[in-house]
């Protein structure tokens, strides 16, 4: 019966795709945005990697400022921050849980306050039981327990960061900008832009609490403004982009103790570039051979080759994104294409990835979506 239901769902999903696209070759893409202008919330489209066909985007759910998204491990639910300073009469942003429909639509399950203003990043553990959120203006991180039906049950943890940094415009207070789990779900790592620190928190899987007694802080270059972090898919390495100084830092990672140690630091900009620019996103290619960082201002994706043995980075190129302010970007699960979300030009642009060098080549395909911020792919095989 379960097999029959899954097969029926896939057939219905195939019909929803329209002519020319097949499940085996297609990915569904969810796009988080900033609302207040033309955008109404979360958008969805489909992409066929083999042919490069991309459907028009359609509204999946109307919601306020869903600037960052996360998919549950079983691909049945999607979670989105509501990046605001007020939520349900509280000085807080919100987080929402959505049920995925076979046609790509989203049905709201419930919403909760995050415990801090401007939540900007979230992650889910591999068991699908815990959701972690970083609150930018709140300067704190939170953990939520998830129900078997995808519901946000309750907040189990809220940890406040303290301090400041040398940048008098951006670092007068803590600003938690991301939180990620390692490959074993043993440690959560929060990047705080306001105080130039990575905080490593042991996660207690039974309670959803963070073990503060064993937490550690990893200092980075003063004024660097660590924003996002990406773990290597198979090696004990991690990568952090400095928003304020346009750098990419590679670190060794001890999965037993949660220790992080700096291995290499590289600029994400050309040596002769002198204009203002800030990085936004960092991502490791599924092969583990390349690392990518987006530059807002220079409006490019910086490409690096990676020596997986020693963590050293080799600059490959800075590829123009054919738009303004590349925020988030993502690579298709097959590793063949990179999609860049250009926030201020309202486009998502598709690039082909060179399998040998990691270099990017424009495909000529793009998507119109107002103020795109976050991109999440889903394999059809996962449904």
Q: What is the pLDDT of residue 5?
A: 43
Sign (positive/negative) of CA torsion 350, 233, 359, 221? Answer: positive
* Cβ–Cβ < 8 Å for 329, 301: yes
pLDDT at 209 over 50: yes
DSSP structure class, residue 164: -
**Average pLDDT of the segment spanning 186-208:** 97
Q: Which two tokens stand for residue 147?
A: 């129900």
Q: Which two tokens stand for residue 325?
A: 């302010």
Give which of 225, 218, 196, 233 is closest to 263, Cα–Cα: 218
Q: How confident is the model at residue 44 (pLDDT cuts 50, 70, 90)?
A: very high
Rounded to an integer, what distance in angstroms lies between the CA atom of residue 193 and that of residue 227?
Answer: 6
**270-288 residue pLDDT tens:** 999 999 999 999 999 999 9
**339-357 residue pLDDT tens:** 999 999 999 999 999 999 9
Rounded to an integer, what distance in angstroms lies between the CA atom of residue 173 and that of residue 188?
Answer: 21
Report domain extents, the chain: 64-219
Rounded to an integer, what distance in angstroms lies between the CA atom of residue 47 and that of residue 305?
Answer: 27
**Average pLDDT of the segment spanning 210-237:** 98
Q: Which two tokens stand for residue 340?
A: 């860049």
Rounded to an integer, what distance in angstroms lies between the CA atom of residue 175 and that of residue 3?
Answer: 46
Q: How confident is the model at residue 380 (pLDDT cuts 50, 70, 90)?
A: low
Q: What is the pLDDT of residue 17?
A: 42
Assign domain 64-219 to its CATH architecture.
7 Propeller (2.130)
Beta-bridged to residue 250, according to DSSP, are 239, 264
Q: What is the pLDDT of residue 300?
A: 98
Q: Which two tokens stand for residue 293?
A: 């960082």
Using the CB atoms, write b or e for 209-220: b if 16+ within 10 Å: bbeeeebeebeb
Rounded to an integer, what distance in angstroms lies between the CA atom of residue 379 and that of residue 57?
Answer: 17
Task: Classify residue 287 as left (phi > 0), alpha (psi -120 to 50) or beta.
Answer: alpha
Q: Which two tokens stand for residue 35?
A: 């609302």
Q: How confident is the model at residue 377 (pLDDT cuts 50, 70, 90)?
A: very high
**Average pLDDT of the segment spanning 68-73:** 98
Q: What is the pLDDT of residue 21?
A: 41
Rounded to an integer, what distance in angstroms lies between the CA atom of residue 61 and that of residue 69?
Answer: 12
The Cα angle at residue 55 between residues 49 and 59, in degrees rounded to 5: 125
| Burial grade of 353 (CB within 10 A; 0-12, 13-18, 19 or more) | buried
Q: What is the pLDDT of residue 379?
A: 84
**Average pLDDT of the segment spanning 309-317:** 97
Rounded to an integer, what distance in angstroms lies between the CA atom of residue 82 and that of residue 122?
Answer: 11
pLDDT at 20 over 70: no
Collect all residues with Cβ–Cβ distance below 8 Å to 307 and sequence separation of at least 6: 313, 314
Using the CB atoms, write b or e for 87-108: b if 16+ within 10 Å: beeeebbbbbbbbbbeebbbee
**Average pLDDT of the segment spanning 236-248:** 98
Rounded to an integer, what distance in angstroms lies between the CA atom of residue 29 and that of residue 22?
Answer: 15
Which H helix or E strand runs over 10? helix 2-17
Average pLDDT, the chain: 93
Using the CB atoms, write b or e for 357-369: b if 16+ within 10 Å: ebbbeeeebbbeb
Rounded to an integer, what distance in angstroms lies between the CA atom of residue 63 and that of residue 96?
Answer: 9
pLDDT at 25 over 60: yes
DSSP structure class, residue 5: H
Rounded to an integer, what distance in angstroms lies between the CA atom of residue 51 and that of residue 49?
Answer: 6
pLDDT at 1 over 80: no
pLDDT at 181 over 60: yes
> Residue 18: phi, psi to the nearest 5?
95, 175
Rounded to an integer, what distance in angstroms lies between the CA atom of residue 99 and that of residue 72?
Answer: 10
pLDDT at 195 over 50: yes
Task: Classify residue 225 as left (phi > 0), alpha (psi -120 to 50) or beta.
Answer: left
Q: What is the pLDDT of residue 13?
A: 45
pLDDT at 147 over 70: yes
Rg (CA), the chain: 20
């Amino acid at each position: 019966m379960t097999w029959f239901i899954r097969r029926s769902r896939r057939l219905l999903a195939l019909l929803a795709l329209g002519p020319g696209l097949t499940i085996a070759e297609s990915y569904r893409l969810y796009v988080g945005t900033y609302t207040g202008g033309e955008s109404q919330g979360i958008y969805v489209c489909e992409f066929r990697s083999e042919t490069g066909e991309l459907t028009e985007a359609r509204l999946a759910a109307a919601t306020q400022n869903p600037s960052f998204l996360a998919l549950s491990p079983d691909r049945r639910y999607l979670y989105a921050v509501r990046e605001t300073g007020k939520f349900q009469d509280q000085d807080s942003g919100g987080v929402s849980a959505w049920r995925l429909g076979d046609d790509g639509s989203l049905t709201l399950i419930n919403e909760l306050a995050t415990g801090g203003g401007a939540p900007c990043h979230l992650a889910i553990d591999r068991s699908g039981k815990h959701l972690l959120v970083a609150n930018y203006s709140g300067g704190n991180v939170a953990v939520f327990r998830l129900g078997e039906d995808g519901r946000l049950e309750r907040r189990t943890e809220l940890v406040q960061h303290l301090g400041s940094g040398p940048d008098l415009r951006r670092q007068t207070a803590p600003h938690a900008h991301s939180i990620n789990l390692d490959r074993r779900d043993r440690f959560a790592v929060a990047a705080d832009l306001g105080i130039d620190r990575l905080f490593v928190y042991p996660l207690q899987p039974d309670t959803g609490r963070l073990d503060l007694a064993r937490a550690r802080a990893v200092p980075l270059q003063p004024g660097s403004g660590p924003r996002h972090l990406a773990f290597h898919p198979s090696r004990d390495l991690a990568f952090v982009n400095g928003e304020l100084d346009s750098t990419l830092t590679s670190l060794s990672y001890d999965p037993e103790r949660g220790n992080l140690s700096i291995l290499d630091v590289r600029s994400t900009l050309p040596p002769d570039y002198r204009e203002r620019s800030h990085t936004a996103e960092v991502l490791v290619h599924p092969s583990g051979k390349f690392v990518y960082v987006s530059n807002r201002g220079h409006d490019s994706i910086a490409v690096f080759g990676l020596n997986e043995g020693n963590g050293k980075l080799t600059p490959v190129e800075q590829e123009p994104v054919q738009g303004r302010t590349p925020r988030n970007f993502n690579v298709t699960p097959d590793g063949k294409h990179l999609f860049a979300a250009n926030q201020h030009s309202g486009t998502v642009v598709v690039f082909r990835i060179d399998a040998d060098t990691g270099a990017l080549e424009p495909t000529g395909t793009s998507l119109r979506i107002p103020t795109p911020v976050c991109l999440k792919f889903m394999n059809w095989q996962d449904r």
